[in-house]
A and B are shown apart, each in its own frame.
Chain A
Amino acid sequence: MTHISVEDVSFGYTASPVVRNTSFTVEKGEYVGVIGPNGSGKSTLLQLILGLYEPDKGTIELFGQPSRAFVDRERVGYVAQDVTENTKEMPITVEEVVLMGRFPHAGFGRVGSDDRRRTREALRTVGIDHLAGRKITKLSGGQRQRTYIARALASEADLLVLDEPTVGVDAESIEDFFDLLDRLNDDGMTILLVEHDIEAVLEHTGRVLCLNRTLYFDGPPGAFVDSDALERAYGIETQRGEVTP
């Protein structure tokens, strides 16, 4: 089953497009990494897929429905770019944040014991159930990131969309985090990951999309290494691993 379908999409906030003539599909159970230099339109592409903007040209579908009119919202879990550095001093606990994943299920009704049970389960899956009562602003970047993954799990999402989730997270936590994503993917979760760490994408994902306004490469990590897509997309002579995007 096709989870994401992007067909000949162009989009710009102003007259000059940020995303140009881009097409690809993501099937159920795939683990896809999106890489590209800063300002290459990666985050914009994610937001288009999530239906936050209307493309100027082309069509985007989520689970076979137009993304702007997509209704099964609980199927998509989104971890935004700045979650690890959220400085807002709002008093809210980890459990309260994860419980939000149940809100689309509850609608205007009350959250029940089943919702709380699933919240607990999600916290256990990502390994932070001991932090349930902790204030979110007191967490480390890595712990916060897990909180948002747990929210997606609580929502019973089968597509996880992550926008640079490792910014501001220490090296050891990053490794654990990618192990967690591997596990979730093994359990059948479809993952679309925008990430600046090319090494990590090549090591963990099953497919690489290399983007700089338009698609430069779409294929398995092995083929990407052998291609010259990286040099062309980043527009510099470079060796893999030395890119500082």
Chain B
Amino acid sequence: MTPSPTSTLTIASVDGLVVPSVTGLPTGAIGWLIDRWSDLLSAVGDAAGIEMLQYGFMHRAFLVGVLIAVMAPLIGTFLVHRQLALIGDALAHTAFAGVAVGLFVNAVLGTGISPYLTAVVVAMIAALAIELISEVTDAYNDVSMAIVLSTGFALGAVLISLNAGGLAVGINQYLFGNLATVSRSNAMILIGLFLVVTLVVGTTYKQLLYVTFDETAARVAGLNVPWYNRIMTMLTAMVVVGAMQIMGVILVAAMLVVPVAGAAQLARSFREALLASIILAELAVLVGITLSFQYEATAGGTIVLVAVALYVGAVLLGKVQSNRKTVGDIHATAEEQTAD
């Protein structure tokens, strides 16, 4: 399924009316961006003699990886500090059901819908369901989360086995992710998700921070907390599906959690924490993809192992830092007292 590389403004006829296709222009622009990115990496590859940058699929893998490493910790920082890290895992497993739905529909109806699109839809529905359950029961509890998680995965497994005549073949790429299968259209889907996620977080950063830090005070300050919670889980669903392409269902949640946990060891302010988590995630993705190419190891696993190594490094660095700071604090307090 490869869309025309230069899909400009197309004209579609709907109910006798001639209207410009809504998707024509944006996909054209995104396609152009992907091409320029490819040119850039080719040039870098030629100049520096890096073999892996000769391949188009590696260009797309790096593009997708770089974007994931921004949006996963961006959302993850809010989730982790609300002790909601499990939501990512639950949504990833329901997204798997979405993939299965897409493959199933394609097999039955002979359509060519990207399974990632059906995964986005199903994961968003699951996100809403989780929110509604938590609003009714007045708490996010791990039991309901575990139920959503297993239901999603079970549904996916059943749908796939029902249609086993060839479906099960490609399923590993969704479970564990695959660098080589990041197609142009899937890269476009990811860029779309990336734009939505960063735009929404950019606009509602203050509100999300307030709700994350102190939900009661946020309610007193007049914020519609349930609404922001819904936004948060919906964005999580988008990130999870986006990151699934190279991380796989099983490991995708790690990108939401591990870089954030590392950053929390080093950062003082919330902004620092966001920035540090993105830097750690970028390092993990770039190093992980490179190693995965060199040693022909699975990308998702390699990235997570690098991320965990960075986390351990951050913990050690944090310990050294806080020891030094405690000494500094004692000096500062002494100065304050003499100043008084």
Contacts and interface: CB of A to CB of B under 8 A. Distances in A.
Interface of A: 50-52, 70-71, 73-74, 76, 78, 80, 88-93, 95-97, 100, 103-104, 106, 108, 111, 130, 133-135, 138, 151, 155
Q: Which has the most chain B C-beta neighbours within 10 Å: A74, A76, A78, A111?
A: A78
Interface of B: prevailing SS: helix
Interface string B315-339: 0000000000000010000001000
Given A90-B213, A96-B270, A108 B222 contact: no
B40 interface: no
Given A90-B81, A135-B268, A78 B210 contact: no
Contacts, number: 73
A100 B210 contact: yes
B315 to A, nearest CB: 13
Interface in B65-85: 81
A151 B221 CA distance: 11
B36 interface: no
Contact count band on B: 20 to 34
A133 B268 contact: yes
Given A90-B213, A108-B203, A111-B206, A96 B269 contact: yes
Contacts of A130: 336
B260 to A, nearest CB: 10
B206 A76 contact: no
Contact of B217 (A70, A78, A88, A106): A78
Contact of B206 (A70, A91, A103): A103
Nearest to B326: A138
Contacts of A76: 220
A106 B268 contact: no
A151 B209 CA distance: 14
Contact of A91 (B204, B207, B221, B273): B273
A100 B212 CA distance: 12
A97 B213 contact: yes
A138 B81 CA distance: 17
Given A50-B220, A71-B222, A74-B221, A100 B213 contact: yes
Contact of A103 (B210, B216, B268): B210
B209 A100 contact: yes
A155 B220 CA distance: 12
Contacts of B209: 96, 100
B213 A91 contact: no
Interface string B49-73: 0000000000000000000000000
28 contacts: A50-B220, A71-B222, A73-B220, A73-B221, A78-B220, A80-B216, A88-B81, A89-B264, A90-B212, A90-B270, A93-B269, A95-B269, A96-B270, A96-B271, A97-B213, A100-B206, A100-B209, A100-B214, A103-B206, A103-B210, A104-B221, A106-B206, A108-B204, A108-B206, A111-B206, A133-B268, A134-B268, A155-B221
